[in-house]
Each structure stands twice: as C-alpha cells, then as structure tokens.
Structure 1
Amino acid sequence: MATRALSERPAASAVSKSQQAYDWVRERILRQEFTPGYRLVLSAIGKELGMSVVPVREAVRRLEAEGLVVFERNIGARVGMIDRTGYEEAMDALAVLESAAISRAAAHLDAETLRRARELNEVMRGSLEHFDAHMFTALNQQFHALLYRACPNQHLVDLTEAEWSRLGHLRDSTFTFIPGRAPESVREHEHILDLIEAGATPDGVEHACRMHRGRTLSAYLDLGEPGAPTSPSAP
C-alpha cells in the first residue's frame, strides 16, 4: 500500500501543475495579454511557473482542444483565434459592406487620394522583406480606409467601420497566421487601384474588392482543414 501511495503522488502533483499551467496561460489569452498569433514557448512558461515542460505541454494540449491554441510545424504553439465563428462572420460582412462602399467611392476618389493609396501600397510592398505582421496590418487598414471613406453614403461608411471595429484585435493577427497572403494582398491592391483609375464600372470594382477580401478569409479558413499539421515541435 505504501508503495502504491508513493507512486500516486507524482501523478497527483503532475495533474496539479498541469492545471496551474492551464489556468495561467488561459487567463492571459482571455485577457488578451497573449494575443492571437503569439508564440507560446513551453520551456519559458515552465521556467516562469517553476515547473518542467511536461505539465505545460499537457496544459497547452488542453487549450488546443478548446481551440485557444494551434500548433504549427517547425514553430510550435501559438495562440489561436479566440472566436473563429465571429471572425468569419465579421470578415464576410466586411467583404459585402466595404466592397459596396469602395465601388460607390470610386468616382469620388481624386488623383491625390489615389496617389497616397499607391504610396501606402508601396510601403506595404517594401515591408515584405522584413515582415512585421502588425505593422503590415496597420498599413493595410489605412489603405482600405483611404478608399471606402470617399463613399458618399455615410451610413455605408459607418457600417463598414463598425465591422472593422468588430474584428477588434483579431484583425491584427490575420497576417501572423497567413504571412504568405501579404504579397498577394499588395498585388490585389494594385489591381483595384488600376481598375479605379481606368474608370471601371462600379460592379467591376465591387467584384474585385469582394474577391480580395474573400481570398484573405479563405486563406485563414484553409488553416483549419482536416489533415493540416498540428504536431508541436520540440520546445
């Protein structure tokens, strides 16, 4: 009996430490101290909590099962999108609203605004070599705002900006998850500007904008397809 009791103590201790690590990481994710895309270094967390990496790995696996963490090959654990459904719905709504706003704005965009939009897009292109997802996202939002805010329908502009706000901190992480989407986005921006400057029909501009937004959402959704690698690398 004594032997059995001794053998059970490490297991109980391990469970306790795993729960402690789980609570610690989960709290920081929900408080947005660890934002989507943030890399969870298991050994560093273990050191912070004064425990080995084993209970931390168990805790992170639980968080993965809850959708709060994702594993990427050769990278390890990252904080996932907290509200995947909410993100999809906001991106879908934004595709409709923003595309409609830009199509109506096209005839009202003057040469100076289009020049500024091209300059912003070139800054985005230049940032690709030493990619910073957060900076790229900020520039991306500025680019889009230059276009849709010229829409004469202020209600449509307000609805578009409400969807940008609804995305909240999640939009700041999109290109962290799908950095390969960034150069495609720059090329699509250029195409949209070319259409506007060439006097394309509102329907043509709206279609290009909606496809642009839809491709970003599709790239993110592809991460969750069955068979995607989810095995963690060594800490």
Structure 2
Amino acid sequence: MKKDNKQEIAYKFIRSRILEGTYVQGQRLVFDTIGKELSLSPIPIREAIRRLEAEGLVTIKAYSGAVVSTINETEYYEVLSTLAILEGYAVSLSKAHVSDEQLKILHEINNSISEALKQFDFNGYIQLNKEFHLQTIKNCPNKSLYTMIKHMWEKLDAIRRLKPMYFPVRAIEAISEHETIISYLQNSVTGEEIERFVRKHHMAALKDNEAKK
C-alpha cells in the first residue's frame, strides 16, 4: 500500500467520524488508537490530521494534541457570509458555461433535497444542499475560486453537523430559491442579477439563525 493511499484512508476515516458525530467536539484524537483500528502507523494519521486541521475540523492544542474543533457562532457567520460573496460571483462566472445536462442534474438534486426534508433526513439535506450549490459552479472558469468555495462548503457542513441548531427553519423557502437559481442559470438574466440573488439566498440563512436566538 502506498503512503498516499494510507494517508487517504486515515483522512477519510477520521473525517467521516467527525462529520457523522462519532468523534464529538473537543474530543482528543489518539493516534495510537486510530492506528490500531486502521492497522496504520502514526505517520499517515499525522498527515491526515494536518489536512483536517487545514479544513478547520481539527485543532492542534499545546497540551492536548489533536482534538475535534469546537464550533462557535462567530465562525458560522463568518464562513457563511464569506461564502455568500464568493459563491455569488462564482455563479455569475459560471452562467455562460452551464449545460442542459447540468440544469437537469440541478433539478434532480433539488427534488432530492425536498424529499430529504419530508423524511426529516438532516444529514441527507445537508449533503444534497452542498451538492446543489457546488453543481451550480461546476464549470466555473476560475478553478482557484471553485476550490476555495468547495473547502468553505466542507467547513460549513461540519458546523451544521456539529451544531444542529444551524439547520435552517427556512428550508422550504431555500428549496424554492434553488429553483429560482436554476431559472436564472437557464434564462437571459445578467451576471449581476444572479450574483445578487445567490448572495441574498445565503444571507437569508444568517437572518434565519438570528431570528432563532
């Protein structure tokens, strides 16, 4: 087994444990214990932890070592407000490159989001919502921007899984707004119009959580 493959196995294993809630906020990640579970040495686990630290899922503390990051409210607002700005611009850049197949996929994903909501499938809703938004910028000509937004979505998803209070009560409205985004991608609106709408769509989630306080 190649070193890179071992690191990837460790990365996916630890990341999935964090996102599904098996490893909780503040929990110390013991390299030896994880290594025994995966039959791996500490080296690929340490490298995987560095990747997770870069994503914000893990924090390295002086006396505790690697622990699952503790999410605070300020961080959620910072991530989502920044995502609103970046994704709005990315969607405006992507509009000219959207295919009919991509529009079909967006409709299908949004239908699945609606079904997940009906089934009270919290994790399914989160995953599908991320897939929808990343699909809107799949053909973004600025690849660095796409990568940055993808990482921010991973961080946002982690926050929403670690703190279920961030599940949007305006989910029905969000699904309807997704249909508007698809329509904007399909029809002759300007890049500025779709950028404003996507930004408004994300910022509404911030207002949603403000209302719940």
Q: TM-score w.r.t. structure 2 length?
A: 0.64
Distance 1:146 1:175, change over 3 A: farther
SS in 1 for 2:120: coil
CA contact (8 A) 2:71 2:163 kept: no
Could you tell me which runs of 5 or more consecutive residues in structure 1 were left unpaired when the two chains were aligned.
1-26, 33-80, 225-235
The separation in 1 between residues aligned to 2:194 and 2:165, in whole angstroms, is 28
Shift of 1:108: 0.3
Shift of 1:199: 1.9
The separation in 1 between residues aligned to 2:119 and 2:108, in whole angstroms, is 18
Shift of 1:154: 1.0
**Identity percentage over the alignment?**
29
> Which residue of 157, 163, 172 maps to 1:183?
172
The separation in 1 between residues aligned to 2:164 and 2:107, in whole angstroms, is 20
CA contact (8 A) 1:102 1:147 kept: yes
1:31 matched to which residue of 2? 27
2:109 matched to which residue of 1? 120
The separation in 1 between residues aligned to 2:163 and 2:175, in whole angstroms, is 15
**Paired positions, count:** 151
CA contact (8 A) 1:133 1:179 kept: no
Q: Does 1:98 align with 2:87?
A: yes
CA contact (8 A) 1:120 1:143 kept: yes
For 2:107, give the aligned amino acid.
Answer: R
The separation in 1 between residues aligned to 2:160 and 2:24, in whole angstroms, is 19
> Which residue of 141, 156, 166 maps to 2:155?
166
The separation in 2 between residues aligned to 1:127 and 1:179, in whole angstroms, is 13
2:140 matched to which residue of 1? 151
1:139 matched to which residue of 2? 128
SS in 1 for 2:117: coil
Measured against aligned partners, the alpha-carbon deviations of 1:187-217 in whole angstroms (never above 9, x if no partner) come to 0000111111112100011011001101112
Could you tell me which runs of 5 or more consecutive residues in structure 2 were left unpaired when the two chains were aligned.
1-22, 29-69
The separation in 1 between residues aligned to 2:85 and 2:76, in whole angstroms, is 14
CA contact (8 A) 1:178 1:219 kept: no
CA contact (8 A) 1:124 1:186 kept: yes
**Please, what is the CA RMSD of the aligned residues?**
2.3
CA contact (8 A) 1:114 1:193 kept: yes
For 1:98, give the aligned amino acid.
Answer: E
2:209 matched to which residue of 1? 220
Distance 1:84 1:151, change over 3 A: same
CA radius of gyration, larger in: 1
CA contact (8 A) 1:104 1:202 kept: yes
